[in-house]
Amino acid sequence: MWYFQKIDPVQSVIPFKYVAFVGAGGKTSLIEYFASRLVKEGKTVAITTTTKIFVREPYQLLKNSKDQIDVTSLNRFGRTLENGKLTAVNDEDIQRIGSSYDIVLIEADGAKHRPLKFPAPYEPVVPSVAEKIYVVSGLDALFHQVQEVVFRYELFCNITGIDGQAVVTEDVFMNFFSPSILFKGVDTGKCTIVLNKYDVLRQRSCGGIVAKGLLKNIHGPDLIVSSINHHVFYRITH
């Protein structure tokens, strides 16, 4: 028996101080949603990155280890500002931020707005202090060509032998959840899978097919099917 339970995912974040986000298809949107909700819960929240993240106000640049941390209900941190993006901080910076904030949300991957990605050798950049990890992907990749919806699709094609013009079926989508792709560098015991953008699927049942297939083959992670933009989240269990 499969169970679809509408949930408030923010409650699962509250027990942790350092929360990382990897993958594609909605990381930044999920981070911003969590941040706004956590502030309403009375938490002070910092957003930062180990790669790059588009800048939003308010923010602070930590150019050296002696910079004082500005504490507000919500703030964003990076080392520098380049082309409208905050650049990566290191583990020491993250811990300094964490000493001043209740929760630190860390974007630890990049995907150029694609719903799926294949990691380069240096990706993702999950900080050692991460206590919870969200592995995000976009269901809107389904039934589109690999070359259209996969960031670094050339690497994916070289490794798997799948042609760039091949269609992302449910099986191809599920293959991304492997130790060499979306779970690379991720402790699956700490992670929650987020299948985002189910609302844009022509056949929403396809999202359920993917979710059930992953739960049958992967043991440990929680799994959420979501429409982050509409603030709708379902946990799927069986």
CATH number of the domain encompassing residue 63: 3.40.50
- Domains: count for the chain: 1
- State the pLDDT confidence band at 217, using cuts at 50, 70 and 90: confident
Separation of alpha carbons 20 and 62, rounded Å: 19
Q: Find out whether 116 and 176 touch, Cβ atoms under 8 Å.
A: yes
Separation of alpha carbons 192 and 53, rounded Å: 21
Q: Which residues pair with 86 in a beta bridge?
A: 53, 81
Q: Kindly report the pTM of this predicted structure.
A: 0.95
Residue-by-residue DSSP string for 80-143: -EETTEEEPP-HHHHHHHHTT-SEEEEE----TT-SEE---TT-----TT-SEEEEEEEGGGTT
Strands (DSSP E) found in the chain: 3-6, 18-23, 45-49, 52-54, 59-61, 74-78, 81-82, 85-87, 103-107, 116-117, 132-138, 150-151, 191-196, 222-227, 232-237
Domain span at residue 186 reads: 3-237
Question: Which are the contacts of 44, defined by CB distance < 8 A and separation ≥ 6?
Answer: 71, 72, 73, 74, 100, 101, 102, 103
What average pLDDT score do residues 104-109 get? 97
Three-class secondary structure of residue 232 per DSSP: strand
Separation of alpha carbons 106 and 138, rounded Å: 19
9-135-190 Cα angle (round to 5): 75
Residue with tokens 């308010």: 58
Using only C-alpha atoms, what is the Rg of the chain?
Answer: 17
Instruction: Indicate if the pLDDT at residue 43 is higher than 80.
Output: yes
Model confidence pLDDT, tens digit, residues 47-68: 999 999 999 999 999 988 778 8
Model confidence pLDDT, tens digit, residues 76-104: 999 999 999 999 999 999 999 999 999 99
